[in-house]
Amino acid sequence: MNNQTKKPNPKSVSVSKSLKLNYPVAIQGHKGSFHEIAAKEFFGESIKVVPCKNFRELLKVVSSKKESFSGVMAVENSLTGSILPNFTLLEKSNLKIIGEIYLKIEQHLMIYTGTNIENIREVHSHPMALSQCSDYLEKSNWKLVETEDTGLSAINISKKYSMHIGVIGSKSAAELYDLEIVASNIHNENNNFTRFFILQSGEKKTNIIDADKASINFKINHTKGSLAKVLSTISNSGVNLSKLQSFPSSNSEAKHNFIADLEFKNIEQFNKAIKAIATSTEEIKIYGVYKNGSKNN
């Protein structure tokens, strides 16, 4: 087991047996990336991972009718907040959230085995990873090169025998591509978690056992007090509003758009709350109903 910390353990308590089969799971990035780690934490080590170049391709793969794909997509980081472009992609798709997992992000500096840290001239990684390790990187005069994926960066120096390039990524990537970690846990903040949604086509029916959380998108008009009315209705229903964020809308002049996470005791309570707030909103889209995760420090 790698040393990345997972958020929940939903795979054993909240997902139907059909999801435990060896279905392909699409991820953004390559093997050794944090997306792969999150996928294996949720589904198990034996899954078949399908790398995708970007999130748009990931959603396209999961929507495919040719195979029974699930997908894992990062949507939020405890340091940088929501990844709003991914919510935009989700809103335009037919996909449903069937689970979530939080992964503690632990970044390491690794090099090609046989060289040493004094040889480094450049450090390659995803922009987010470089940002998360800025305090450490500022101590050296290395050229920082942004790449599309931490796993891909590890692959490149492994295949090209790059003696002057360091990579920031996971312990899993170092082990997978036979790289040497020369500086461990170089991230700025220790309490750094990324939230991932587990996605599946909306055409597939998956039974989520003991579901107690939902992610929704709702739109309201510009009438004074519209948002306050929705929030009051949610509160009166006994449902906990654990996330609320304004969200860009394609018709922003006509409506305010919000992402919300709702936590509830049972599905009947959730359905009642949705019915109640429907009278105060212009439109509601339920991204998914699933089992709530919990951070594991």
d(CA 152, CA 95): 27
Distances (CA, A) of 69 to 24, 26, 27, 95, 210: 5, 7, 10, 11, 23
213-290 CATH pick, 3.30.420.40, 3.30.70.260, 3.65.10.10, 3.10.330.20: 3.30.70.260
Residues 243-271 have a mean pLDDT of 85
Q: Is residue 101 within 8 Å of 42, Cβ to Cβ?
A: yes
Give the span between the Cα atoms of 120 and 174, in whole angstroms: 16
Architecture of domain 10-103+192-201: 3-Layer(aba) Sandwich (3.40)
Same fold, 10-103+192-201 and 213-290: no
Tell me the percentage of the chain whose pLDDT exceeds 90. Answer: 63
Backbone angles phi, psi at 168, to 5 degrees: -105, 130
**Range in 120-134, 152-166, 233-247 the model is least confident about:** 152-166
Backbone angles phi, psi at 289, to 5 degrees: -120, 125
What whole-number percentage of the chain has pLDDT above 70? 88
Q: Please tell me the CATH superfamily of domain 108-183, with its number.
A: Periplasmic binding protein-like II (3.40.190.10)
Q: Is residue 264 over pLDDT 70?
A: yes
Is 4 a residue whose pLDDT tops 70? no
Cα-based distances in Å from 8 to 52, 99, 140, 193, 202: 24, 10, 37, 12, 23
**pLDDT higher for 161 or 295?**
161
pLDDT band at 159 (very low <50, low <70, confident <90, very high): confident
State pLDDT tens for residues 46-105: 899 999 999 999 999 999 866 668 999 999 988 888 999 999 999 889 999 999 999 999
* Spatial distance between the Cα atoms of 273 and 289, rounded to a whole number of angstroms: 13
Q: Where are the domains of the chain?
A: 10-103+192-201, 108-183, 213-290
Residue 187, CA atoms < 13 Å, CB-side half-sphere: 20
The number of CA neighbours under 13 Å toward the Cβ of 200 is 21
What is the pTM for the complete model shown? 0.86
* Chain segment 193-233, per-residue pLDDT in tens: 999 999 998 777 777 888 999 999 999 987 888 999 999 99
Can you give the pLDDT at residue 203? Answer: 78
Q: What is the DSSP letter of 279?
A: G
Residues 16, 42, 186, CA angle at the centre, nearest 5°?
A: 165
User: With contact defined as beta carbons under 8 Å apart, do 176 and 154 qualify?
Assistant: yes
Non-local CB neighbours of 283 within 8 Å, separated by 6+ positions: 218, 219, 255
Averaged confidence pLDDT in the chain: 87
| Signed CA dihedral, 128, 133, 137, 138: sign only | positive
3-state secondary structure 32-72: CCHHHHHHHHHHCCCCEEEEECCHHHHHHHHCCCCCCCEEE
Q: What is the dihedral of CA 214, 219, 222, 224, to 10 degrees?
A: -30
